[in-house]
Structure 1
Amino acid sequence: MSLDLPRTEPRPDHPATDEVRRRLEHARITRLAQLKALDDAGPGPDDPLTSHQKEAIQRALKEIDDAVARLDRGTYGICQGCAKPVPPERLEILPHTRHCVTCQRRAA
């Protein structure tokens, strides 16, 4: 069950939606470039390290896409663990995060 709740009023400390979209798109483009680099220079799909790196990048891409969906729904920046606002500093560092630091520690 998701605690992805709609916001009823804008957060003044929340970055502008366009800025967030740009950050997420930059993160997405970076991950896609990393995948391409692994495909172009990697020793092959049977290499466990390359395979692990590709899986991690694909998970990050999914998280980025999920963050864009939350942005579209108006729930971006709300922790899915406790339903409280994620601090803007955390969102700046990790724009696709879905949890505050406390809830992320619990989930790990």
Structure 2
Amino acid sequence: MTTDLGTTTQRLTKHEARRRLEHERNSRLAQLRAIEESAPLADEDLQAAQTAAIRRVLDEIDAAGRRLADGSYGTCDNCQTAIPVERLEILPYVRFCVGCQQRAS
């Protein structure tokens, strides 16, 4: 059974969402490897900040995977409305719709 995620005429299937999340995870892991490889040449504070930011995104990706598994993926954590598929295509791990994200920032 295919479950569609999003509210526009375009639809993001669970398979596509999973694929996008895997791509994001692999990209972030490659960034971590690059940071580790540049360790002798990098500023330690900058490297620590970059590593922490990437690890936060990896945590968000893992949380999105859990939402995908439990059926809540694509729903805003705050207002419970559907997150537009265009937003999920750009940031597949996003937890909030644009309005709630702007209010939180």
Q: Deviation of residue 37 (structure 1)?
A: 0.7
Q: Deviation of residue 104 (structure 1)?
A: 0.5
2:11 matched to 1:17?
no
Moved over 2 A (4+): 9-14, 42-46
2:67 matched to 1:70?
yes
2:68 matched to 1:84?
no
Q: Please provide the CA RMSD for this pair.
A: 2.0
2:18 counterpart letter in structure 1 = R
Secondary structure of the corresponding residue to residue 63 of structure 1: helix
CA contact (8 A) 1:86 1:100 kept: yes
Tell me: CA distance 1:36–1:88, structure 2 relative to 1, closer, same or farther (3 Å): same
Q: Deviation of residue 101 (structure 1)?
A: 0.5
The equivalent residue for 2:33 is 36
TM-score, structure 1 length as denominator? 0.85
1:41 counterpart letter in structure 2 = S
CA contact (8 A) 2:4 2:13 kept: no
Q: Deviation of residue 45 (structure 1)?
A: 8.4
The equivalent residue for 1:5 is none
Q: What count of residue pairs does the alignment treat as equivalent? A: 100
* Bigger mean CA deviation after superposition, 97-106 or 36-45: 36-45
Q: Deviation of residue 47 (structure 1)?
A: 1.0
Task: Could you tell me which runs of 5 or more consecutive residues in structure 1 were left unpaired when the two chains were aligned.
Answer: 1-8
Task: Could you tell me which runs of 5 or more consecutive residues in structure 2 were left unpaired when the two chains were aligned.
Answer: none
Q: Deviation of residue 106 (structure 1)?
A: 1.2
2: distance between equivalents of 1:46 and 1:93?
A: 30
